[in-house]
Structure 1
């Protein structure tokens, strides 16, 4: 009796973890299909493989069967997921689950470009706050704060230009 209870608690706990990963329920070919997201918001095909990101349009990410795209050699073939040669297509919308789904898809080339821009802006803000004391303003009034911010930004840019000139001068003298 206790063995059955412990097994049922284990299976219940496992099912709860799976339910936590479920993001949406779709009706596809008159059958209920659960779309499970793996890792970075990538849906999983019925064969258990991560689906291949095929781009985005109008705020919707499109994923295709990885076997049809040539990324995975699925033992089930293409007929397992879909009866079409194009393979199974799944679309995700950030509105459904913005914590896991983003446009462009997390990990794609466009997403990395945007993320790199974001990190460079965050580094700039950090330098302004820590090195140029924008975290502790001693002036009052919107015009004075704006002037202080602009002068701090100018000094940050001037320091960067000077550092690049010194670096270039050292490279020329070493060569």
Structure 2
């Protein structure tokens, strides 16, 4: 984080901080623009109560924090950081980054790197043994980005979508 003599962030500095409810429309807008895997999020007003309920639940969970990245005061990125304890490795604390998204208009300007640097530092600060994330196999640019940010491609993941399954 850069600052000026007045203590204010320098122009062009990416600031990562916990999201507030006021950030929710900007977050949903960013999520809705990710369509590589089809349309999964919506800025339709009828869908907004679902996002509000989810935000409120996340906000009350001490194991999870939703973050935003701001560039010149505007929300341009988001991710969620979740901590959980596992029995493996003598009961280590693990961190997981979820829903990592950067506004397509500002990709390549250091927003994603600032978010991942923050996530790594926060996971270390909280004593996590590792930080992991999952990325769809089709997101080749994202994979290159994560590798440049220090992540190793070590795992094959499996997923089953449960919505609509009876």
**TM-score normalized by structure 2?**
0.23
Q: Which has the higher contact order (CA 8 A, sep 6+)?
A: 2
Compare CA radii of gyration and give the structure with the larger one: 1
The structure with more helix, counted as a fraction of residues: 1
The structure with more strand, counted as a fraction of residues: 2
